[in-house]
Each structure stands twice: as C-alpha cells, then as structure tokens.
Amino acid sequence: MQVSRANAEAIQAWDGVLFEKFSRFRAVLTAGLSVHGTEALRRHPPREASRVLDLGCGFGDTTLEIARLVGPLGSATGVDAAPRFIEQAQAEARSAGAANARYFAADVQADSLEGPYDSAFSRFGTMFFASPVAALRNVRKSLTAGGSLLMVVWRRREDNGWAHTAELAVREIIPPVEHGDEPTCGPGPFSMASADTVSAQLLAAGFQDVGFERFDTDICIGKDLDEALAFAKALGPAGEMLRLAAAQGIDETARVDAALRSALAPFVKGGGVYGPSSTWFVSARSS
C-alpha cells in the first residue's frame, strides 16, 4: 500500500488508537451503525450478481452483508487503509465461509482500487480523506460507466445527540488543546454533513445524478449509563477531545464523568441508552 502523505497521519490513527477503541466498543458501534447501513442497503440494494466495492470497510461486516445480497455470482470487496481492520475482516470472512467476499488494504484517495466495480458503497468510511474530491474521483475511476455510489454519512452534529451531547458537556470542562504529537483521524465524522459541499465534491469528481435522503433514528450507545459513559469518553468528538487533552497531561476525570452522567441520563430508556442520530444516504452515478 502506497500511503499518500496527506492521509498518513489519519491512517496511523485508524490503524492504531482508533482500531483499538473500535475493537473495544465493537458491539455497541456495529449495532448503532448497522441500523443506518442496513436501511440504506434496503432502500438501494445492490444488483444480484454485481461487483461491489465497500469503501473504508472497517471490520467488514457490511462487506459480508453485501456479499450475501449480490449472491454467489456477484462479489463484495472491502477496502480499508488500516491493515489491522483488513486482517480482522479477512479472518472473519474465512470463518463465515463467505467465498464471494474479499478485502485489501489501500488508501482510497491514493491507491489503485482494483476495479472495475458495478457499484461502490460506504457506511461511514468516506469522511476521513484529506482530499475528498481526489478520493471520490479515484472511486469513480474504479466504476464501470454508469456505476453507482451509495454513501452513508452523518448529517450535522446538532441532529446527532448520541455524540454531540457528550461533546458539548466535555467542551464545558476541557479547554481547546492542540493535538501535539497525537495522530488524529482526518477531517472527521461530520465532514460530509453539508449536502451543498458533498454534492459539489461529487460533481467535481465526475459523478452525476446526486441525491440525498435523510434518515433519522435513535441508536444504542450502551446497555446502561456506565457503558454509555465509557463509550462517550473513548470515541466520537468527546472521546477525541479527552484523548488529546490526556496526552497533554490534562486530567479532569471526576468533573467529566459527572457532567457526562447528567448529560446522558435523559437518553436512558428501557433496555439501554439511546441517543438521536441522523444520516444522509448519498447516491450518485458515475458519468
């Protein structure tokens, strides 16, 4: 894999600290994220027997879902810049006996994507490129003429209380910190929230027929308040703020824990903690 310099720091973060955090909270994350991915695939199912590329596939569970949808005559290929995610995905596809799923490590912005594919899909895997237009252009080049793209991306943070509520609570306590030597994940989870920006990026990358569908649903961020607190402190904007602050010796654990407990308490319902979430299903066609 030829790592573009622009994404080198983000890839270091994804293959290091973020891989470890995603592994620790995998059950919570995958359950929450899959509500959005599965609904997007239900509305826009890949064609049977088609070849689909899954961008920024992480542990590869969406790749397996797509492999099942396209059937044995089709194929699902997961690509991710972080080799540790790819190794895990390959091992799980082997034990699931998914003969039509494969994975490879590559930077979507800089490397060959080994096409051609009939379509590309991504569940939250396209918001971290240093240059989204360059990355989307590379995706388009890997598609057949008229091939489709479907991306699930977070809408604006104000409609994503599952993450933003914790972010606001932590920001009250932790001063803004420089990220120093700590690697960060790139533009970030809300970088594709603006439909105007993303439609301009897609058109610049050579896509057409751009469409946006909004999908709102509450997602589980923990089986109880303790797990939701641990999740908020590890991942999302609040988790990132705390990680960078800790690297600079800032420790406000007691105040942060108290603030997060009271901010997240209204989300406790029946069998878990559920926060509001909102995504765009972005569709486009290669010209």
Among 25, 117, 124, 280, binds ligand SAM (CB under 6 A): 124
Segment 147-186, which members bind ligand SAM (CB under 6 A)? 186
Residue 14 or residue 207: which is nearer to ligand SAM going by CB?
14
Q: Are 236 and 197 in contact (CB under 8 A)?
A: no
Q: Could you count the other beta carbons within 10 Å of the beta carbon of residue 93?
A: 22
CA distance 265 to 228: 10
- The reply to whether 32 sits near ligand SAM by the rule CB under 6 A is no
Among 46, 58, 132, 272, binds ligand SAM (CB under 6 A): 58
Among 52, 65, 80, 232, binds ligand SAM (CB under 6 A): 80
Among 10, 174, 229, 264, binds ligand SAM (CB under 6 A): 10
CB of 204 to ligand SAM, least distance (A): 18
- The reply to whether 57 sits near ligand SAM by the rule CB under 6 A is yes
**Sign of torsion over alpha carbons 92, 98, 102, 108:** negative
CB of 208 to ligand SAM, least distance (A): 24
Q: Are 98 and 123 in contact (CB under 8 A)?
A: no
**b/e per residue 138-152 (b: at least 16 CB within 10 A):** bbbebbeeebbbbbb
CB of 14 to ligand SAM, least distance (A): 3
- The reply to whether 239 sits near ligand SAM by the rule CB under 6 A is no
Strands 117-123 and 143-154: parallel
Q: Are 17 and 82 in contact (CB under 8 A)?
A: no
Segment 89-118, which members bind ligand SAM (CB under 6 A)? 107-109
Q: Are 147 and 120 in contact (CB under 8 A)?
A: yes
Residue 255: its H or E element: helix 253-264
Quick one: which of 63, 196, 78, 208 has its CA closest to 149? 208
Among 25, 85, 121, 281, binds ligand SAM (CB under 6 A): 85
Residue 18 or residue 170: which is nearer to ligand SAM going by CB?
18
Among 33, 198, 229, 282, binds ligand SAM (CB under 6 A): 33
Residue 59 or residue 259: which is nearer to ligand SAM going by CB?
59
User: C-alpha distances in angstroms, 3 versus 60, 80, 143, 144?
Assistant: 21, 12, 22, 25
CA distance 66 to 182: 35
Residue 82 or residue 221: which is nearer to ligand SAM going by CB?
82
- The reply to whether 132 sits near ligand SAM by the rule CB under 6 A is no
CA distance 177 to 15: 23
Among 25, 117, 121, 128, binds ligand SAM (CB under 6 A): 128
- The reply to whether 205 sits near ligand SAM by the rule CB under 6 A is no
Residue 259 or residue 283: which is nearer to ligand SAM going by CB?
283
Q: Look up residue 119 and give its two tokens.
A: 């379509």
Q: Tell me which residues touch ligand SAM (CB under 6 A).
A: 7, 10, 14, 33, 56-58, 62, 80-82, 85, 107-109, 123-125, 128-129, 186
